[in-house]
Amino acid sequence: MRVLITGGAGFIGTNLASALAQGGDQVVVFDNLSRRGVSDNLEWLTTHHPGIQFVHGDVRDAEALADVVRGADRIFHLAAQVAVTTSVVDPRTDFEINLLGAVNALEAARLHAPEAPFFFTSTNKVYGGMEDLRIVRRGERYEYEDLPTGVAESRPLDFHSPYGCSKGGADQYVRDYARIYNLPTVVFRMSCIYGPHQCGNEDQGWVAHFAREALAGRGLSFYGDGRQVRDVLYVGDLVRAFRMAADAIDRTAGEVFNIGGGPENTTSLLELVAELEEICGHKVPVNYAPWRPGDQRIYVSDVRKAGEVFGWAPQVSRTEGVRRLIDWLRESNLD
């Protein structure tokens, strides 16, 4: 198949492009290479998979998108501005990349590849602060008092921050293009994804950021008390979800799925640091700062719908996934 991946030199795009190319697909990577580390990802991709085609372009350019969409059998729209803090500083650029870019991609698909399954990577931020949920503190973590399976797709949407608005608006556009234009679109509302080729920082990709800083013997900053909890998902499991949902497009088209590690793969910041200290063999200094506005004490995805509709569930445990990430960082000599 001819597969288009916008943002294909990013962290998730690199892992997806590699898996699809290895499986024999003709992969087109469309990326403007604006983020730190993506040029290295692209070099790795084209070295290991010489057949991958790279197109330098920006999702804000509708004509450029239309050119690469023509003839695509599958489309994965991953290109995005990815940090809440950046969206607060520059909301216009966040809007242009995340919402306008998604509409440009949808229009290109509608006009030039209407039969191609279209996947969009949304975020758990579309659910907002969820202040109504009761949260309790147990040991070194927060937990939902009465939500053992996590947050389901039926949860009302509540966009906070320019990033939440731009991704949430795109999420709804993608869903509505299935209803109005009968495009086979699928939305993945993702939790914390981590793994090789991730250039993480404090604001985005925090698992990789923690791992890199721990390996280098540098300190970390916690905003809050460190007991905040997220479900984390190894990127290989996400790639598998993409492929399984695409193969089951007759059942997944028009649907929205929460994709994360689920209740079995949660960690608090304190717990992750303790695990990294054990792996690295030394203490990791932590500096505590005040809570940031909008930070959730806990978010855990209910991933049962993906299992029911197309048979997917996480396979790589948090412990195994973190060790794989550490091994990749060591092999890559990244500090």
Residues assigned a catalytic role: 163
The backbone region for 197, taken as left when phi is positive above 0, alpha when psi lies in -120 to 50, beta otherwise, is left
CB within 8 Å of 291: residues ≥ 6 apart: 223, 224
| 3-state SS, residue 257 | strand
Strands 229-234 and 26-31: unpaired
Residue for token digits 């909008």? 294
DSSP reduced 3-state for 287 = strand
Instruction: Answer positive or negative: Cα dihedral of 144, 146, 148, 149.
Output: negative
Q: Which of 190, 192, 215, 212 is nearest to 201 (CA)?
A: 212
* Pair 155, 130: CB distance under 8 Å: yes
> CA dist 110 to 75, 177, 276, 334, Å?
12, 8, 46, 41
Distances (CA, A) of 93 to 81, 124, 125: 8, 21, 18
